[in-house]
Amino acid sequence: MIKKFCVDQIDVYINGEKLLDHLSFSVQPGEMLGIIGPNGAGKSTLLKVILGVIKPQHGTVEITHNDRRPVIGYVPQARAIDEEMPIQTWDFISLGLPHRLRPWLTKRDRAVIKETMELTDTSHLAKQPIGKLSGGEKQRVFLAQALVRNPDVLLLDESTANLDPKAQEEMASLVHELCVQQNISTLFISHDIHLVSKYSHRVLYLTRGHYTVGSAEEIIDNANLDVLYQLQHVNGMAQTAVETMRYGG
Ligand SMILES: Nc1ncnc2c1ncn2[C@@H]1O[C@H](COP(=O)(O)OP(=O)(O)OP(=O)(O)O)[C@@H](O)[C@H]1O
Ligand SMILES: [Mg+2]
């Protein structure tokens, strides 16, 4: 279980504009933090900062484990897979296992892959080439690949985006369950406010240069997000609206 997952006073500038401004929050073990916000707000950028791919101009991300290096599972927003990629789904998922320096899979590895594929409803795809799967099937396989490493932290960037409504609900519910049962600290980015409010323990609402974090009720029910999203493009008014609801600071 992780000891500490803390994002502290992060500043990120993109092309001279401040995208993330003194962003601070922490995530508990087993907590699912939903992340919402308009296109271009910096949601994907935030995950890349947490992964260490983007270095913030200011601030720190601290993720520590009680007795080993923390393991992070990540499913990026857009993942291009060549349709002709000659790799079967089973092998693709196995690439997510840690310690892949050895060329063979142990009995334990195989058991973990099998279990994860059952969990993510991908068992029937095992022998299929990954490139030929549908968008929704690929999303489930990507989740399985992130889960086989038994992560302490799970970063999901619009993992439900290509799924039909029933599959979206199933995936969000599965992620919630895993997060609680296996004590995984999960960041779940989605534009589906219904899903986020139903399955997240808390919500981070991000707009360019501003943010607020709180319970789903505080963020979603008490604030008129429709208005906020629309006002994003109306200079000045959006600023006022976001400032008004900002309290997470
Ligand atoms: N490597 C980069 N170089 C230049 N600009 C970038 C880079 N990465 C992100 N940006 C810009 O930073 C802003 C935030 O991008 P980001 O992908 O984090 O947004 P997002 O909140 O995930 O949006 P969406 O909901 O569309 O996925 C965008 O304006 C984007 O163009
Ligand atoms: Mg994004």
| pLDDT tens-digit series, residues 68-118 | 899 999 999 977 788 888 899 999 999 999 876 667 888 999 999 999 999
User: Looking at the 3D structure of the chain, how many domains does it have?
Assistant: 1
47 located within any domain = yes
156 located within any domain = no
The Å distance, Cα 125 to ligand 2 centre, comes to: 27
Give me the residues paired with residue 62 across strands.
6
Q: Is 199 exposed, middle or buried (0-12, 13-18, 19+ CB in 10 A)?
A: buried
The Å distance, Cα 79 to ligand 1 centre, comes to: 15
Q: Looking at the whole model, is its pTM more than 0.95?
A: no
167 located within any domain = no
Residue 65: CATH number of its domain: 3.40.50.300
230 located within any domain = yes
The Å distance, Cα 129 to ligand 1 centre, comes to: 31
Q: Which of 23, 44, 192 has the most ligand 1 atoms within 8 A of CB, as the residue to mutate?
A: 44
113 located within any domain = no
Cβ neighbors of 23 (< 8 A, separation 6 or more) are 7, 9, 10, 11, 46, 59, 206, 211
Question: Is the shortest distance between the CB of 190 and ligand 1 below 6 Å?
Answer: no
187 located within any domain = no
137-167 pLDDT, tens digit per residue, is 999 999 999 999 999 999 999 999 888 999 8
Q: Which domain holds residue 61?
A: 1-71+194-249
127 located within any domain = no
Tokens matching residue 64: 């520590």
Q: What is the DSSP string of 45-72?
A: HHHHHHHTSS--SEEEEEEEESSSPPPE
121 located within any domain = no
Question: Is the shortest distance between the CB of 40 and ligand 1 below 6 Å?
Answer: yes
